Amino acid sequence: MKYSCVELNDLPDEILLIIFKKLDNLEVLYSFQGVNERLNKIMHDPIFTSRLSFPRLSFSKYIKKFSSDIILNRFRSQILPTIRTKIKWLDLESESMRNILDAADYPNLYALGLYNVEEETAKCLFTDERLVSSIFKNQITTLIISIDPDKNERSTMNSICNHVFTVFINLTHLTFYDAAHQNNARLSFDVPFPTFSSSSLLVLKIKVQTFDVCLYILDGRFEQPHTLDIELANILSPSEIENQRKIPNLKYFVLCCMSRTWYYDELILPLIYRMSNLEELGLSFTTTVKETFIDGNNLKQNILNQMSQLKHFTFDIRSVMFIKNQMNLPSKEDIQETFIDLQYTKIISCVDYFREYKRGLCHIYSYPFLMRRFKDVTNNFAGGLYPYVRVVTLYDEHPFEHEFFIRISQSFPCMEKLIINNRYGQNQKESYKLMNDKSNLSIAKYYNLIDLHIDEAHDDYIDEFLCNTKTYFQNNILLDIDYKVLQRVTDNFTRDDTRINCTKINELVLFGKLECSKALQDYFPFAIIE
Protein backbone atom coordinates (compact mmCIF):
# COMPACT_ATOMS: atom_id res chain seq x y z
CA MET A 1 0.00 0.00 0.00
CA LYS A 2 3.04 2.25 0.25
CA TYR A 3 2.77 3.54 -3.33
CA SER A 4 -0.93 2.94 -3.96
CA CYS A 5 -3.21 5.81 -4.90
CA VAL A 6 -6.94 5.30 -4.33
CA GLU A 7 -9.18 7.74 -6.21
CA LEU A 8 -12.75 8.62 -5.34
CA ASN A 9 -14.06 6.61 -8.29
CA ASP A 10 -12.26 3.51 -7.00
CA LEU A 11 -14.40 3.38 -3.86
CA PRO A 12 -17.49 1.14 -3.77
CA ASP A 13 -20.94 2.74 -3.91
CA GLU A 14 -21.59 1.98 -0.25
CA ILE A 15 -18.52 3.96 0.85
CA LEU A 16 -19.35 6.84 -1.47
CA LEU A 17 -22.84 7.04 0.00
CA ILE A 18 -21.41 7.19 3.53
CA ILE A 19 -19.08 10.03 2.49
CA PHE A 20 -21.71 12.00 0.58
CA LYS A 21 -24.23 11.74 3.43
CA LYS A 22 -21.82 13.75 5.59
CA LEU A 23 -21.96 16.64 3.11
CA ASP A 24 -24.64 19.16 2.16
CA ASN A 25 -26.73 17.57 -0.56
CA LEU A 26 -26.77 20.72 -2.75
CA GLU A 27 -22.98 20.84 -2.68
CA VAL A 28 -22.84 17.14 -3.54
CA LEU A 29 -25.17 17.65 -6.50
CA TYR A 30 -23.26 20.68 -7.75
CA SER A 31 -19.88 18.93 -7.44
CA PHE A 32 -20.66 15.48 -8.83
CA GLN A 33 -23.79 15.65 -11.01
CA GLY A 34 -22.72 15.05 -14.63
CA VAL A 35 -19.21 13.74 -13.86
CA ASN A 36 -20.01 10.21 -15.03
CA GLU A 37 -22.93 7.79 -15.21
CA ARG A 38 -22.00 5.97 -12.00
CA LEU A 39 -21.93 9.17 -9.92
CA ASN A 40 -25.11 10.37 -11.61
CA LYS A 41 -26.87 7.21 -10.44
CA ILE A 42 -25.69 7.81 -6.87
CA MET A 43 -26.65 11.49 -7.06
CA HIS A 44 -30.20 10.51 -8.01
CA ASP A 45 -30.69 8.65 -4.75
CA PRO A 46 -33.63 10.17 -2.78
CA ILE A 47 -31.20 11.04 0.03
CA PHE A 48 -29.80 13.81 -2.17
CA THR A 49 -32.80 14.76 -4.31
CA SER A 50 -36.03 14.48 -2.31
CA ARG A 51 -35.48 17.72 -0.31
CA LEU A 52 -33.35 20.60 -1.58
CA SER A 53 -32.70 23.54 0.78
CA PHE A 54 -31.26 26.60 -0.93
CA PRO A 55 -31.21 28.98 2.09
CA ARG A 56 -29.27 28.57 5.30
CA LEU A 57 -29.84 30.10 8.71
CA SER A 58 -27.28 32.73 9.72
CA PHE A 59 -27.67 34.87 12.84
CA SER A 60 -31.47 34.44 13.06
CA LYS A 61 -31.97 35.18 9.39
CA TYR A 62 -32.11 32.95 6.35
CA ILE A 63 -29.64 33.82 3.61
CA LYS A 64 -28.65 32.32 0.28
CA LYS A 65 -26.51 29.22 0.62
CA PHE A 66 -24.67 30.13 -2.60
CA SER A 67 -23.66 33.73 -3.19
CA SER A 68 -22.51 33.04 -6.75
CA ASP A 69 -25.06 33.36 -9.56
CA ILE A 70 -22.94 30.93 -11.57
CA ILE A 71 -23.76 28.11 -9.15
CA LEU A 72 -27.46 29.00 -9.08
CA ASN A 73 -27.60 29.20 -12.88
CA ARG A 74 -26.07 25.72 -13.17
CA PHE A 75 -28.76 24.35 -10.89
CA ARG A 76 -31.44 26.01 -12.99
CA SER A 77 -30.13 24.95 -16.40
CA GLN A 78 -28.44 21.57 -15.80
CA ILE A 79 -29.18 19.97 -12.44
CA LEU A 80 -32.82 20.66 -11.56
CA PRO A 81 -34.21 19.60 -14.98
CA THR A 82 -32.48 16.19 -14.66
CA ILE A 83 -33.79 15.43 -11.15
CA ARG A 84 -37.13 17.28 -11.28
CA THR A 85 -39.28 14.15 -10.90
CA LYS A 86 -37.40 13.14 -7.74
CA ILE A 87 -37.82 16.46 -5.91
CA LYS A 88 -40.54 16.38 -3.24
CA TRP A 89 -39.60 19.36 -1.04
CA LEU A 90 -38.01 22.71 -1.94
CA ASP A 91 -36.76 25.31 0.56
CA LEU A 92 -36.23 28.64 -1.21
CA GLU A 93 -34.93 32.07 -0.28
CA SER A 94 -36.74 35.22 -1.40
CA GLU A 95 -34.28 36.33 -4.09
CA SER A 96 -34.05 32.99 -5.87
CA MET A 97 -37.44 31.34 -5.29
CA ARG A 98 -38.99 32.50 -8.57
CA ASN A 99 -35.99 31.34 -10.63
CA ILE A 100 -35.93 27.90 -9.01
CA LEU A 101 -39.67 27.36 -9.43
CA ASP A 102 -39.46 28.40 -13.09
CA ALA A 103 -36.46 26.14 -13.81
CA ALA A 104 -38.55 22.97 -14.32
CA ASP A 105 -41.85 21.24 -13.73
CA TYR A 106 -41.87 19.33 -10.45
CA PRO A 107 -44.65 16.73 -10.71
CA ASN A 108 -43.97 15.16 -7.29
CA LEU A 109 -43.38 18.35 -5.31
CA TYR A 110 -45.69 18.46 -2.27
CA ALA A 111 -43.80 20.67 0.22
CA LEU A 112 -42.51 24.21 -0.11
CA GLY A 113 -40.49 26.38 2.29
CA LEU A 114 -40.38 30.11 1.44
CA TYR A 115 -37.92 32.13 3.53
CA ASN A 116 -37.34 35.88 3.99
CA VAL A 117 -40.62 36.54 2.23
CA GLU A 118 -41.70 40.15 1.65
CA GLU A 119 -45.18 41.30 0.76
CA GLU A 120 -44.39 42.23 -2.85
CA THR A 121 -42.46 39.01 -3.47
CA ALA A 122 -45.35 36.96 -2.12
CA LYS A 123 -47.90 38.91 -4.15
CA CYS A 124 -46.01 38.32 -7.41
CA LEU A 125 -45.44 34.64 -6.60
CA PHE A 126 -48.99 33.87 -5.48
CA THR A 127 -50.56 35.55 -8.52
CA ASP A 128 -48.41 33.78 -11.11
CA GLU A 129 -50.99 31.88 -13.18
CA ARG A 130 -48.68 29.04 -14.18
CA LEU A 131 -47.46 28.35 -10.64
CA VAL A 132 -50.89 28.77 -9.09
CA SER A 133 -52.66 26.47 -11.54
CA SER A 134 -49.99 23.77 -11.74
CA ILE A 135 -48.15 23.54 -8.40
CA PHE A 136 -49.74 25.67 -5.70
CA LYS A 137 -53.38 24.63 -6.05
CA ASN A 138 -52.94 20.98 -6.97
CA GLN A 139 -49.71 19.74 -5.38
CA ILE A 140 -48.62 21.66 -2.29
CA THR A 141 -49.90 20.18 0.98
CA THR A 142 -47.07 21.38 3.26
CA LEU A 143 -46.06 25.05 3.33
CA ILE A 144 -43.54 26.94 5.48
CA ILE A 145 -43.48 30.73 5.21
CA SER A 146 -40.82 32.69 7.07
CA ILE A 147 -41.24 36.45 6.98
CA ASP A 148 -38.17 38.65 6.51
CA PRO A 149 -37.26 39.60 10.12
CA ASP A 150 -36.00 43.01 8.94
CA LYS A 151 -39.50 43.93 7.78
CA ASN A 152 -41.61 44.72 10.83
CA GLU A 153 -44.89 45.61 9.14
CA ARG A 154 -47.64 43.41 10.50
CA SER A 155 -49.63 44.03 7.35
CA THR A 156 -47.13 41.79 5.54
CA MET A 157 -48.21 38.75 7.51
CA ASN A 158 -51.90 39.61 7.18
CA SER A 159 -51.68 40.08 3.43
CA ILE A 160 -49.72 36.87 2.87
CA CYS A 161 -52.11 34.91 5.08
CA ASN A 162 -55.05 35.97 2.91
CA HIS A 163 -53.22 34.81 -0.22
CA VAL A 164 -52.20 31.48 1.30
CA PHE A 165 -55.68 30.14 1.90
CA THR A 166 -56.90 31.39 -1.47
CA VAL A 167 -54.04 29.87 -3.48
CA PHE A 168 -53.03 26.73 -1.56
CA ILE A 169 -56.41 25.04 -1.36
CA ASN A 170 -55.09 21.58 -0.45
CA LEU A 171 -52.89 22.58 2.50
CA THR A 172 -52.65 20.10 5.36
CA HIS A 173 -49.58 21.57 7.14
CA LEU A 174 -48.81 25.29 7.49
CA THR A 175 -45.98 26.92 9.44
CA PHE A 176 -46.09 30.72 9.40
CA TYR A 177 -43.56 32.80 11.36
CA ASP A 178 -40.43 34.94 11.28
CA ALA A 179 -37.00 33.51 12.06
CA ALA A 180 -35.84 36.28 14.38
CA HIS A 181 -36.07 36.46 18.16
CA GLN A 182 -37.45 39.99 17.91
CA ASN A 183 -40.78 38.52 16.74
CA ASN A 184 -41.51 41.40 14.39
CA ALA A 185 -43.86 39.46 12.16
CA ARG A 186 -47.07 38.45 13.91
CA LEU A 187 -50.55 37.90 12.63
CA SER A 188 -53.02 40.57 13.75
CA PHE A 189 -56.33 41.58 12.27
CA ASP A 190 -58.49 44.65 12.13
CA VAL A 191 -62.26 44.65 12.08
CA PRO A 192 -63.87 43.29 9.97
CA PHE A 193 -61.95 40.07 10.43
CA PRO A 194 -60.85 38.25 7.21
CA THR A 195 -63.00 35.35 6.10
CA PHE A 196 -60.34 32.89 4.94
CA SER A 197 -60.89 29.25 5.82
CA SER A 198 -59.69 25.73 5.04
CA SER A 199 -61.37 22.35 5.06
CA SER A 200 -58.09 20.43 4.68
CA LEU A 201 -55.69 22.03 7.19
CA LEU A 202 -54.52 19.59 9.87
CA VAL A 203 -51.41 21.24 11.34
CA LEU A 204 -50.92 24.98 11.98
CA LYS A 205 -47.87 26.60 13.60
CA ILE A 206 -48.08 30.38 13.75
CA LYS A 207 -47.13 33.56 15.63
CA VAL A 208 -49.96 35.97 16.38
CA GLN A 209 -50.25 39.32 18.12
CA THR A 210 -53.16 38.87 20.53
CA PHE A 211 -55.34 36.27 22.19
CA ASP A 212 -58.27 37.50 20.08
CA VAL A 213 -56.50 36.29 16.92
CA CYS A 214 -56.06 32.91 18.58
CA LEU A 215 -59.81 32.75 19.23
CA TYR A 216 -60.58 33.75 15.66
CA ILE A 217 -58.34 30.96 14.37
CA LEU A 218 -60.35 28.51 16.47
CA ASP A 219 -63.81 29.85 15.51
CA GLY A 220 -64.52 26.98 13.10
CA ARG A 221 -62.91 28.38 9.94
CA PHE A 222 -60.51 25.41 10.02
CA GLU A 223 -62.71 22.34 10.05
CA GLN A 224 -60.38 19.55 11.11
CA PRO A 225 -57.10 20.70 12.66
CA HIS A 226 -55.48 18.15 14.97
CA THR A 227 -52.31 20.16 15.78
CA LEU A 228 -52.02 23.85 16.74
CA ASP A 229 -48.78 25.47 17.89
CA ILE A 230 -49.36 29.15 18.59
CA GLU A 231 -47.12 31.87 20.02
CA LEU A 232 -48.78 35.04 21.33
CA ALA A 233 -47.27 38.45 21.92
CA ASN A 234 -49.76 39.14 24.72
CA ILE A 235 -52.97 38.02 26.40
CA LEU A 236 -55.00 41.09 27.26
CA SER A 237 -58.38 41.59 28.92
CA PRO A 238 -61.26 39.26 27.98
CA SER A 239 -63.06 40.24 24.79
CA GLU A 240 -66.53 39.51 23.50
CA ILE A 241 -65.24 36.90 21.06
CA GLU A 242 -66.88 33.52 21.61
CA ASN A 243 -64.68 31.18 23.66
CA GLN A 244 -67.12 28.29 24.17
CA ARG A 245 -67.24 26.30 20.92
CA LYS A 246 -65.80 22.80 21.33
CA ILE A 247 -62.78 21.74 19.28
CA PRO A 248 -63.06 17.94 19.33
CA ASN A 249 -60.54 17.21 16.57
CA LEU A 250 -57.60 18.92 18.26
CA LYS A 251 -55.12 16.37 19.65
CA TYR A 252 -51.96 18.47 20.09
CA PHE A 253 -51.90 22.06 21.39
CA VAL A 254 -49.00 24.34 22.33
CA LEU A 255 -49.60 27.86 23.66
CA CYS A 256 -46.73 30.24 24.36
CA CYS A 257 -47.16 33.86 25.47
CA MET A 258 -44.26 36.32 25.46
CA SER A 259 -45.69 38.96 27.82
CA ARG A 260 -47.00 38.58 31.36
CA THR A 261 -50.75 38.12 31.64
CA TRP A 262 -53.37 38.44 34.39
CA TYR A 263 -55.80 36.07 32.70
CA TYR A 264 -54.78 32.49 33.35
CA ASP A 265 -58.14 31.63 34.94
CA GLU A 266 -60.30 33.83 32.71
CA LEU A 267 -58.82 33.06 29.26
CA ILE A 268 -56.21 30.29 29.16
CA LEU A 269 -58.13 27.64 31.11
CA PRO A 270 -61.46 28.15 29.27
CA LEU A 271 -59.63 27.82 25.95
CA ILE A 272 -58.05 24.51 27.00
CA TYR A 273 -61.39 23.16 28.25
CA ARG A 274 -62.77 23.47 24.70
CA MET A 275 -60.30 20.77 23.60
CA SER A 276 -61.98 17.75 25.14
CA ASN A 277 -59.96 15.15 23.22
CA LEU A 278 -56.54 16.72 23.68
CA GLU A 279 -53.72 14.16 24.02
CA GLU A 280 -50.65 16.41 24.16
CA LEU A 281 -50.49 19.87 25.74
CA GLY A 282 -47.67 22.39 26.03
CA LEU A 283 -47.94 25.67 27.94
CA SER A 284 -45.41 28.48 28.38
CA PHE A 285 -46.44 31.77 30.01
CA THR A 286 -45.95 34.16 32.93
CA THR A 287 -49.00 35.17 34.93
CA THR A 288 -49.71 37.41 37.90
CA VAL A 289 -51.46 35.68 40.81
CA LYS A 290 -53.10 37.14 43.90
CA GLU A 291 -52.63 34.74 46.80
CA THR A 292 -50.93 31.48 45.75
CA PHE A 293 -48.41 30.42 43.14
CA ILE A 294 -49.35 28.03 40.37
CA ASP A 295 -48.05 24.69 41.62
CA GLY A 296 -48.69 20.97 41.16
CA ASN A 297 -52.00 21.11 43.01
CA ASN A 298 -53.22 23.88 40.72
CA LEU A 299 -52.24 21.97 37.56
CA LYS A 300 -53.86 18.77 38.80
CA GLN A 301 -57.10 20.48 39.76
CA ASN A 302 -57.43 22.82 36.78
CA ILE A 303 -55.84 20.85 33.93
CA LEU A 304 -54.95 17.21 34.53
CA ASN A 305 -58.23 16.28 36.25
CA GLN A 306 -60.22 18.10 33.55
CA MET A 307 -58.55 16.51 30.50
CA SER A 308 -59.39 12.81 30.51
CA GLN A 309 -57.57 12.04 27.22
CA LEU A 310 -54.34 13.89 28.06
CA LYS A 311 -51.26 11.66 27.73
CA HIS A 312 -48.40 14.15 27.67
CA PHE A 313 -48.13 17.54 29.37
CA THR A 314 -45.08 19.81 29.09
CA PHE A 315 -45.03 23.24 30.69
CA ASP A 316 -42.95 26.30 31.51
CA ILE A 317 -45.01 28.44 33.88
CA ARG A 318 -43.97 31.47 35.92
CA SER A 319 -46.35 32.96 38.47
CA VAL A 320 -45.64 36.37 39.99
CA MET A 321 -47.15 37.34 43.34
CA PHE A 322 -46.92 40.79 44.93
CA ILE A 323 -45.87 40.54 48.56
CA LYS A 324 -47.28 42.79 51.26
CA ASN A 325 -47.29 41.36 54.75
CA GLN A 326 -47.78 37.69 53.98
CA MET A 327 -46.35 35.17 56.40
CA ASN A 328 -45.23 31.60 55.71
CA LEU A 329 -44.42 32.15 52.06
CA PRO A 330 -43.85 28.85 50.23
CA SER A 331 -40.30 27.64 49.60
CA LYS A 332 -38.94 25.73 46.63
CA GLU A 333 -39.33 22.52 48.66
CA ASP A 334 -42.99 23.33 49.39
CA ILE A 335 -43.72 23.79 45.67
CA GLN A 336 -41.78 20.67 44.67
CA GLU A 337 -43.77 18.62 47.19
CA THR A 338 -46.99 19.34 45.25
CA PHE A 339 -45.63 17.37 42.29
CA ILE A 340 -44.72 14.26 44.26
CA ASP A 341 -47.44 12.09 42.72
CA LEU A 342 -46.73 13.18 39.12
CA GLN A 343 -44.34 10.41 38.14
CA TYR A 344 -44.61 10.55 34.35
CA THR A 345 -42.10 13.38 33.92
CA LYS A 346 -39.36 15.21 35.77
CA ILE A 347 -40.46 18.58 37.14
CA ILE A 348 -38.19 21.36 38.40
CA SER A 349 -39.29 24.17 40.72
CA CYS A 350 -37.58 27.43 41.60
CA VAL A 351 -38.84 30.11 44.01
CA ASP A 352 -37.34 33.58 44.48
CA TYR A 353 -38.43 36.54 46.57
CA PHE A 354 -37.35 40.02 45.49
CA ARG A 355 -37.59 42.40 48.44
CA GLU A 356 -36.75 45.53 46.46
CA TYR A 357 -39.79 45.13 44.19
CA LYS A 358 -41.85 43.29 46.82
CA ARG A 359 -42.70 40.33 44.65
CA GLY A 360 -42.21 36.61 44.54
CA LEU A 361 -41.54 34.49 41.47
CA CYS A 362 -42.30 30.78 41.20
CA HIS A 363 -41.03 28.99 38.12
CA ILE A 364 -42.17 25.41 37.44
CA TYR A 365 -41.26 23.48 34.33
CA SER A 366 -41.05 19.99 32.91
CA TYR A 367 -37.64 18.61 32.03
CA PRO A 368 -36.25 18.07 29.41
CA PHE A 369 -37.04 21.71 28.66
CA LEU A 370 -38.30 22.14 25.07
CA MET A 371 -38.93 25.90 24.88
CA ARG A 372 -36.70 28.37 23.03
CA ARG A 373 -36.66 31.00 25.81
CA PHE A 374 -35.67 30.80 29.45
CA LYS A 375 -36.58 33.91 31.42
CA ASP A 376 -35.62 35.34 34.81
CA VAL A 377 -32.75 33.00 35.61
CA THR A 378 -31.49 33.72 39.14
CA ASN A 379 -28.71 32.42 41.37
CA ASN A 380 -31.10 29.64 42.38
CA PHE A 381 -30.96 28.16 38.87
CA ALA A 382 -30.72 24.39 39.21
CA GLY A 383 -28.43 23.83 36.23
CA GLY A 384 -28.86 21.01 33.75
CA LEU A 385 -28.69 20.94 29.96
CA TYR A 386 -31.08 23.05 27.83
CA PRO A 387 -30.08 22.51 24.18
CA TYR A 388 -33.29 23.98 22.70
CA VAL A 389 -33.01 27.36 24.42
CA ARG A 390 -31.91 30.27 22.24
CA VAL A 391 -32.79 33.31 24.40
CA VAL A 392 -31.87 33.66 28.10
CA THR A 393 -32.73 36.46 30.54
CA LEU A 394 -30.83 36.81 33.83
CA TYR A 395 -32.25 38.75 36.79
CA ASP A 396 -31.51 38.87 40.50
CA GLU A 397 -31.13 41.16 43.51
CA HIS A 398 -28.00 39.25 44.52
CA PRO A 399 -24.68 39.34 42.63
CA PHE A 400 -23.89 36.98 39.77
CA GLU A 401 -20.41 35.63 40.43
CA HIS A 402 -18.10 34.28 37.72
CA GLU A 403 -18.95 30.65 38.50
CA PHE A 404 -22.61 31.44 37.79
CA PHE A 405 -21.76 32.53 34.25
CA ILE A 406 -19.74 29.36 33.67
CA ARG A 407 -22.82 27.38 34.70
CA ILE A 408 -25.00 29.45 32.34
CA SER A 409 -22.65 28.94 29.38
CA GLN A 410 -22.59 25.18 29.98
CA SER A 411 -26.34 24.80 30.57
CA PHE A 412 -27.33 26.78 27.45
CA PRO A 413 -24.80 25.71 24.78
CA CYS A 414 -26.97 26.94 21.88
CA MET A 415 -27.87 30.30 23.42
CA GLU A 416 -27.88 33.10 20.85
CA LYS A 417 -29.24 36.02 22.85
CA LEU A 418 -28.45 36.94 26.47
CA ILE A 419 -30.03 39.74 28.51
CA ILE A 420 -28.58 40.65 31.93
CA ASN A 421 -30.44 42.73 34.49
CA ASN A 422 -28.57 42.99 37.80
CA ARG A 423 -27.60 46.20 39.58
CA TYR A 424 -25.57 44.48 42.31
CA GLY A 425 -21.80 44.22 41.93
CA GLN A 426 -19.82 41.00 42.35
CA ASN A 427 -18.50 40.16 45.83
CA GLN A 428 -15.62 37.97 44.72
CA LYS A 429 -14.05 40.22 42.12
CA GLU A 430 -10.73 40.50 43.96
CA SER A 431 -10.37 36.72 44.21
CA TYR A 432 -11.00 36.55 40.43
CA LYS A 433 -8.07 38.89 39.89
CA LEU A 434 -5.85 36.69 42.06
CA MET A 435 -6.89 33.55 40.24
CA ASN A 436 -6.42 35.28 36.91
CA ASP A 437 -2.87 36.30 37.85
CA LYS A 438 -2.13 32.64 38.58
CA SER A 439 -3.88 31.51 35.34
CA ASN A 440 -6.33 29.42 37.39
CA LEU A 441 -9.51 31.23 36.36
CA SER A 442 -11.87 29.17 34.21
CA ILE A 443 -13.32 30.92 31.17
CA ALA A 444 -17.03 31.02 30.37
CA LYS A 445 -17.36 30.08 26.69
CA TYR A 446 -20.31 31.13 24.51
CA TYR A 447 -19.94 29.50 21.12
CA ASN A 448 -23.28 30.59 19.62
CA LEU A 449 -23.90 33.94 21.29
CA ILE A 450 -24.63 36.75 18.80
CA ASP A 451 -26.77 39.22 20.77
CA LEU A 452 -25.69 40.56 24.20
CA HIS A 453 -27.70 43.11 26.21
CA ILE A 454 -25.99 44.47 29.32
CA ASP A 455 -27.40 48.00 29.34
CA GLU A 456 -29.19 47.44 32.69
CA ALA A 457 -26.34 45.85 34.62
CA HIS A 458 -23.61 46.78 37.10
CA ASP A 459 -20.16 47.61 35.71
CA ASP A 460 -18.84 44.26 36.95
CA TYR A 461 -20.91 42.38 34.36
CA ILE A 462 -19.61 44.51 31.52
CA ASP A 463 -16.14 43.66 32.81
CA GLU A 464 -17.18 40.00 33.05
CA PHE A 465 -18.04 39.80 29.36
CA LEU A 466 -15.50 42.11 27.81
CA CYS A 467 -12.47 40.75 29.65
CA ASN A 468 -11.03 37.95 27.50
CA THR A 469 -9.55 36.14 30.53
CA LYS A 470 -13.10 35.60 31.85
CA THR A 471 -15.25 35.21 28.73
CA TYR A 472 -14.80 33.78 25.26
CA PHE A 473 -17.23 34.32 22.42
CA GLN A 474 -17.08 34.12 18.64
CA ASN A 475 -17.18 37.04 16.23
CA ASN A 476 -20.25 38.92 15.00
CA ILE A 477 -21.65 40.02 18.37
CA LEU A 478 -24.31 42.70 18.73
CA LEU A 479 -23.72 44.55 22.01
CA ASP A 480 -26.32 46.78 23.74
CA ILE A 481 -24.66 48.88 26.44
CA ASP A 482 -24.58 52.28 28.15
CA TYR A 483 -21.87 54.53 26.68
CA LYS A 484 -20.59 55.97 29.98
CA VAL A 485 -20.33 52.52 31.54
CA LEU A 486 -18.46 51.18 28.52
CA GLN A 487 -16.10 54.13 28.63
CA ARG A 488 -15.50 53.57 32.33
CA VAL A 489 -14.90 49.80 32.15
CA THR A 490 -12.50 50.08 29.21
CA ASP A 491 -10.52 52.93 30.83
CA ASN A 492 -11.64 55.33 28.12
CA PHE A 493 -11.00 52.73 25.41
CA THR A 494 -7.38 52.04 26.34
CA ARG A 495 -7.61 48.88 28.49
CA ASP A 496 -5.74 45.90 27.02
CA ASP A 497 -7.56 42.89 28.51
CA THR A 498 -10.94 44.02 27.16
CA ARG A 499 -9.62 44.88 23.71
CA ILE A 500 -9.73 41.36 22.21
CA ASN A 501 -13.42 40.78 22.91
CA CYS A 502 -14.26 44.28 21.70
CA THR A 503 -12.78 43.44 18.30
CA LYS A 504 -15.40 40.67 18.04
CA ILE A 505 -18.27 43.16 18.20
CA ASN A 506 -19.77 43.87 14.77
CA GLU A 507 -22.68 46.03 15.95
CA LEU A 508 -22.54 48.38 18.94
CA VAL A 509 -25.77 49.96 20.21
CA LEU A 510 -24.96 52.71 22.73
CA PHE A 511 -27.32 54.42 25.18
CA GLY A 512 -26.89 57.74 26.92
CA LYS A 513 -24.75 60.68 25.87
CA LEU A 514 -22.54 59.50 23.05
CA GLU A 515 -19.16 60.83 21.92
CA CYS A 516 -18.18 58.90 18.80
CA SER A 517 -14.45 59.55 19.19
CA LYS A 518 -11.62 58.06 17.17
CA ALA A 519 -10.58 56.11 20.28
CA LEU A 520 -14.00 54.45 20.38
CA GLN A 521 -13.89 53.58 16.69
CA ASP A 522 -10.36 52.19 16.96
CA TYR A 523 -11.36 50.10 19.99
CA PHE A 524 -14.27 48.57 18.05
CA PRO A 525 -12.64 48.37 14.60
CA PHE A 526 -15.23 46.02 13.04
CA ALA A 527 -18.38 47.43 14.62
CA ILE A 528 -21.18 49.49 13.19
CA ILE A 529 -21.73 52.03 15.97
CA GLU A 530 -25.27 53.27 16.59
Go through 347-382 and write b for each residue having 16 or more CB atoms within 10 A of its CB, e for each that does not. bbbbbbebeeeeebbbbbbbeebbbbbbbbbbeebe
For residue range 74-117, list pLDDT tens digits in order.
999 999 999 999 999 999 988 888 889 999 999 999 999 998 88
Distances (CA, A) of 95 to 156, 293, 344: 17, 50, 47
Q: Give me the pLDDT at residue 304, please.
A: 93
Q: Which phi-psi region, left, alpha or beta, contains residue 214 (left: φ > 0; alpha: ψ -120 to 50)?
A: alpha
pTM assigned to the model? 0.87
Cβ pair 197, 222 in contact under 8 A: yes
What residues are paired with 261 via a beta bridge?
287
Q: Give me the pLDDT at residue 330, please.
A: 93
Q: Give me the pLDDT at residue 440, please.
A: 55
For residue range 287-322, list pLDDT tens digits in order.
999 989 999 999 999 999 999 999 999 999 999 999
Point out the residues of the chain with pLDDT beneath 70.
1-6, 58-61, 149-157, 178-194, 238-239, 242-243, 343-344, 430-441
Q: Rounded to an integer, what distance in angstroms lies between the CA atom of residue 210 and that of residue 217?
A: 11
Q: Rounded to an integer, what distance in angstroms lies between the CA atom of residue 199 and that of residue 176?
A: 18
Where would I find the H helices in 309-422? 332-337, 402-411
Q: Give me the pLDDT at residue 439, please.
A: 57
Q: Give me the pLDDT at residue 1, please.
A: 39
- On the CB side of 205, how many CA atoms lie within 13 Å of its CA? 12
Q: Give me the pLDDT at residue 234, please.
A: 87
For residue range 441-479, list pLDDT tens digits in order.
689 999 999 999 998 999 999 999 999 999 999 878 999
- The DSSP code sequence of 359-388 is EEEEEEEEES---SEEEEE-TT------TT
Domain range annotation of the chain? 1-89, 202-371, 373-529
Q: Which phi-psi region, left, alpha or beta, contains residue 376 (left: φ > 0; alpha: ψ -120 to 50)?
A: left
- What is the Cα 61 distance to its own chain's centre? 11
Cβ pair 490, 466 in contact under 8 A: yes
